[in-house]
Every structure is written in structure tokens, then in C-alpha cells.
Chain A
Amino acid sequence: MKIFVPVKRVLDANVAVRVRPDGSGVDLANLKMSMNPFDEIAVEEAIRLKEAGKAETITAVSIGPTQAVDTLRSALAMGADAAILVRADGPVEPLAVARILKALVERDQPDLIIMGKQAIDGDSGQVAQMLSALVGWPQATYASKVEIEGTAVRVTREVDGGLETIEMDLPAVISTDLRLNTPRYASLPNVMKAKKKPLEEIDAASLGVALEPTLKIASTLPPPARKSGSKVETVAQLVDKLKNEARVI
């Protein structure tokens, strides 16, 4: 079985986000970029399936600028076998990402796609569902457990109010939730080995997918600031403030 794992290069989760004062976007210059945390979970799950003898090859795919090669090398160092960089310089909307992935799916015929449930920059949470719809495969979003049984995959999903288990016939699309696994760190020897693994580069334009955004971002502004609060010394003071000042109890 062949697994595709789409990964995205995003602002590192621990970096404080700075919005440009002119409302033109978030400042990314000279800041640490990393693999989207949900995608790390997806790579880890694919590797575990391979280690369990359920998969033969894992291909990591990223769409973005040349620097996204670093993100792909991270996936290779974790244990992916090959990588594809689809070069695109401007922002690429989830729908265009799904269309690009569809073109690669039709070319390379993977049996399973595992990807993060959302990217922590755009917080859109759309690509897995869009790709699934475009290629006509079943989907399992928000996976917290994945089991392959022959040509079927059983997925436990984190849904509002609890957990749901569903089954799909391959090929299928899975999006990962936080509790699916704990991603491994790449060891130094594996980082070195990753440099020799195959990495194909394609121009997004060559896949015939329109990249012009269909949602126009008119402005990006900081959220309204909360008025600064105060510290209280005792529980009695807290109760008094909540009753008489905030009037919430």
C-alpha cells in the first residue's frame, strides 16, 4: 500500500503572532517556521502503519515556496520514503491545494491519504474533506485511532459529545486529530539519510490548477484587546467582585 501525507510549512506554534500594523497580514519575516503540528501526527501515523507491515511506501507532499523543502526533509527524516514539492509562491487556498493533490493522486495512485485536520495558520480545516470529495473517496476526519484490516480501514473519530467509529474501504482520506499519536523526533543519522532520499519538484502551474485566490482578504487585524484586569487577594474579594462589579453570579 502506498500512503500520501500532505504537509504544510507554517509559523511555528510557539512563536507569538505579530499582525502588521497596516492590516496587510501576519508578519512572517525571519520567524521560525515548522511543519504544521497536525501534519507531524499524520507523518507519524503513516510511519507506524509502515512499521506494522501495513504500508510499503510513504510519500510526503508539500505545496508552497522553495523553503517548504525543509518541511519535506523533516518528514523524510522522520521516516517518509520520498517527497514531492509543488512549487507555488503566493498563498494557495485550500481548494487549490485539494485540486493539486487530486492531480497528484491521479498520477501516483496512492491507496491512503493521511493529513492534518487543520493548519494552525489559516485554521480553515478544509483540505482533507475537499480532496475526499474531489477524488470520490470516503473520508474520516478527526481521527484518534486508525486500524487497517485488509482492504478496509477502521477509524475512531473525535466528535462533539464523544467518539465515533467508522469503517471505510480503501482508497480513503483520513485527517488526524491531536490524540492520534505522539510524533517522534528525527535522529541525527536519519536527518543525514533524509538528504539522500528522492525529492521531486514540480511547478504548480504545470498541473493546470488555477491558483488565484477566490476569497479576497480585505484586512488582517489584531483581535480587540481585553481591558486589563485586576488581581484580587482573597476568595471573599473575588466573590464580591463577581457579584457586585461584574454581576455574573
Chain B
Amino acid sequence: MTTLILAEHDNTALLGATARTVAAAKNIGAPIHVLITGHGVSAAANAAAKLDGVEKVLVADHESLAHGAAEPVSEAILAIAAAYEHIAAPATTFGKSAMPRVAALLGVMQVSDVTKILSPSSFERPVYAGAAIETVEATADKVVFTVRTSAFDGVAETGSASIEPVGFSPTARTSRFVSRESAAGGGGVDLSSAKVVVSGGRALGSAEQFTEILTPLAEKLGAALGASRAAVDAGYAPNDWQIGQTGKVVAPDLYIAIGISGAIQHLAGMKNSKVIVAIDKDPEAPIFSVADYGLVADIFEAVPELTKAL
């Protein structure tokens, strides 16, 4: 049997989450097909065809799929699902919105946010904000899962898969797209795939200081900017910079937490980073319990000094 992967793209470019999901799916050991859903998506299809390990790229092109609405996207998957034993998507807001629908209509559970594939039917996934790791065995004939992209490195672009259109006509009641608003850029580096993340918390005190203190450091390090929930709620940073159980989960080589106390919900989103640095003035802050290097200091002095020293 074969594995089907729902691709994540922005209509023009394939996003890194797809290559990471392919890397995860290679552990199943079956041939991999990638499904591109959208309208006018040949560039994304061409990019998917280059991913190492992909045997075939299927393209469902229909105007109802243009904005990634979960109802038609899940229908497009259902239309071809019979040929596949495993159906997977990255655990992004796009993948997480569509895949449980696919699972429900197939009458199976979804295995959410897989961090390790032990066998074609056995998976590891975090629960309780990462405080426990479950090993689950899927007992149904079909396995639907989403992949925690930060747990896998993307495959190389060395392949040359064939591209085939698949027919699609929607029937489900669906939502209508109205508008989309992009968040202000975080130094142009994608948070989910960044090698270095500089993240700020409530202690930054204001949106101005958040930018003024963190941006020069992020630029020096080529890092993406992230934030704690407290910083987002206070309006210092846009919501899609939030790192944690309910925001993004990152695992960069270097994570620098600045003025973040380290609530369990925040740790859930970053504790698998390779090296964690914490700078905070409270020596008792829980963030120091996971930090490889902790510096107890006033962030308004220490961070500019750090930026200057790099």
C-alpha cells in the first residue's frame, strides 16, 4: 500500500512543512504520493515533485480549494483515499483543520501531532502539554495522522516525481472565504523552521521595547522572533508568534528566552530545542530548570550587551 500526504503551500510556493512530513512518512517504508489541493498551483506541484522520496504528485485543482477551506480539502482527500493505507498532513493550522474530517468520514481516529514513527501502526505523540509521551497503536486498516514538523528534518529536493491531475467536484456545505490578513513579519525568518529563535515575554514591558530589544539580536543571529502568551496577550507581538501548547511548537538549534518565566504551557512549545538560553532577572523562574545556560540579569542591559558581543 501507499502513503498519501496533504501538501502545505501558499498557492505559489511549497512550504517547508511538506518536506518535513515526507521525511516522517519515509519511516513507514511505503511509496509516498503528495496531494496538492488548490487553484492554479502548478508551481507548488513542481516543487513537490522534487522532494526526495516522493513517487507521484497528485493535483486537485478547483476554485473551491483556492483558500484551503477544510470542507472541500477533506473531500478531495476522501475522493482518492481508497488507494491509501496511511494519510498524513503536517500539524499546521491547515492540516489540523482538514485531517480530523478525513478521519471521521473514514470512521477512524486521527493520531495527532506525531513526533516519532516506530512502525507502520505505532506512533509516539506528546500529551498533557508535552508532560507525557504516549505510544499509540492504530488498530484500524487506515491510519490518518498529523506530523509535528519540528520533530523531523525536511527531505532534500533531489527527486523527480511525475505529476498527475485528479478530478474533483465539491458537494459538502462549506465556509466562504472573506479575507486574510498577514501578521507583521518576524525578521523574515519562518518560526517553525528557524535554526535560531529569539523569544520574548511579558518582562519586555511594551511593544516598542519588544522590538527595540529583540530585533537587533534576532537580526545578528538570523533568528526568527517568538513570544510567550503573556507577551501576545499584552499586544507586544502578533498572535502567530506565540510559542507553546496552543501556539507553535519549535525545536531550533538555539532558543533564547528573554524575560519569559517558563509556564508549562510555554515549555510545551520549545523544550525540545537543542540548546536553550534563558535571560531573566528572577533566579527562581521555572525557565531556568530547562535552560542549558541561564543568565540572571536585567534584560534591558544584558540583551543589548549580548547583541553587541556577537
Interface residues of A (CB under 8 A from B): 11, 13, 16-17, 19, 26, 38, 93-95, 98, 117-118, 120-134, 136-142, 144, 154-155, 157-169, 172, 177-179, 213-223, 226-227, 229-236, 238-239, 241-242, 246, 248-249
Contact = CB atoms under 8 A, between A and B. Distances in A.
A120 B99 CA distance: 19
Contact of A215 (B129, B137, B173, B238): B137
Contacts of A215: 109, 111, 136-139
Interface residues of B, number: 88
Contacts, number: 252
B80 interface: no
B183 interface: yes
B100 A133 contact: yes
A64 B233 CA distance: 32
Interface string B63-83: 000010111001000000000
Dominant secondary structure at the B interface: mixed
Contacts of B246: 38, 117-118, 177-178
Contacts of B2: none
A26 B176 CA distance: 41
A139 to B, nearest CB: 6
B137 A242 contact: no
B180 A139 contact: no
A89 B192 CA distance: 39
Among B122, B196, B274, B297, the one with the most A-chain Cβ atoms within 10 Å of its Cβ is B297
A214 B104 contact: no
Contacts of B239: 144, 158, 163, 179
Dominant secondary structure at the A interface: mixed
Contacts of B69: 166
Contacts of B180: 159, 162-165
B258 to A, nearest CB: 12
Interface in B237-251: 238-240, 245-246, 248
B57 to A, nearest CB: 22
Contacts of B208: none
A205 B99 CA distance: 27
B130 interface: yes
A168 B70 CA distance: 13
Given A123-B129, A133-B74, A219-B134, A166 B175 contact: yes
B27 interface: no
Contact of B113 (A94, A123, A163): A123
B275 A220 contact: no
Given A118-B246, A123-B245, A214-B138, 20 more contacts: A13-B265, A17-B131, A17-B264, A38-B246, A95-B107, A120-B129, A126-B110, A130-B104, A137-B173, A141-B93, A160-B192, A160-B248, A163-B181, A218-B137, A220-B135, A223-B271, A229-B276, A230-B293, A235-B297, A235-B305
A44 B101 CA distance: 26
A166 B302 contact: no
Interface in B136-189: 136-140, 172-183
A249 B221 contact: yes
B291 to A, nearest CB: 5
Contact of A220 (B74, B107, B133): B133
Contacts of B136: 215-218
Contacts of A17: 128-129, 131-132, 264
Contacts of A227: 292
B43 interface: no
B176 A166 contact: yes
B127 A122 contact: yes
Nearest to A154: B178
